Chains A and B, each alone.
Chain A
């Protein structure tokens, strides 16, 4: 009986890392959006925070897109 431990380990490791990275990045994006709202209320510029938020969401999208590309190819 041959069991492919390496493949099982890969799935486990990749899943943990990718999940935490994606959720973390998305959360940072939401934090930044929230900061942008707060900045708008205080009258300071909301641009930096907003750009940060978009960068975080773009990183999430790119990560997901790359994952799907890996599977489809």
Chain B
């Protein structure tokens, strides 16, 4: 039975293939440890894969920019791999495990140390990244333990967005965000909720880890330090206690409303549909919220403990970053593309402020006139707050990207009266600490 034998053989081969595949997966990074030196021909030709997440607007401008680059650099071919935020990370993790991660990766602050710390990302400075024209304070977001794993793709800063119409409806003036304290925020939120008959005066205030970070920084702490968690149970308790004061004052809605709000998309959010007067966002979301609501939102600073905006320890964050896989065969070509992306006016004109305000000041100056009114407002806000900036916070440590979700789970328990603020704070800190893989 020669035929049968043959079949058996091929089946065994396949089995060996499967075994090998398993082994390749197991060895992961180590299998390609020396890939940094590989590939890269001298004539500037290179084949790159490029992945990002976004909606169809971003897909269109990213594709356009890629085409512009390959047109100017005929030797370079780029394979685009667009994705959608939620599933993007599943695919990237699978690709990384399978040794096929794209060369250029749009990265997020929540994940950069997961990948960077584990050696999956390239040290960009070693391969000639150019950030010389960047606004001070905008480069360090992508630095982990001194190594630059990601370049800021757009400046972001946390803000409170407010709906002026609802303040008007409540017969109130817009708050003075340069002098307001946390207590002011509470009183104003409660007043506008009551005056304009809203579900929320302010929403997402306590569930946002950006707000918690601001609170900690104003009290001399941080979310993370290079050694671990940057705060203690007492700080978390104080934060949860403040939440309960806001809650009881009627400033942030009912427990059910707060819980509900957390699952909503930006387009369904309380600010977008007009059931709340203020909401915490990132500055690169202003345009989307304006579009979703059909209104022009006011941009407000976070409150401070002292009533002086210059004490509020503001910061610039990278809305997203450009990273390069450490396993790329074309590190120079990949970095060259990022250099062009961030430092050329041509790219700036295509991308505008869609990923956030351009960190390269020259590019930003060149495109300023092209920006939409919302983007111009954001741009102005970003430069206005420069005197209020303090040190750039470090990226979440590996395992720390879920801090916000863990915090909100304990907050929900408190809001529904299932536990005390002190117990919740203890549980929160314990869980976040145990999640850290340092």
- Chain B associates with chain A: no
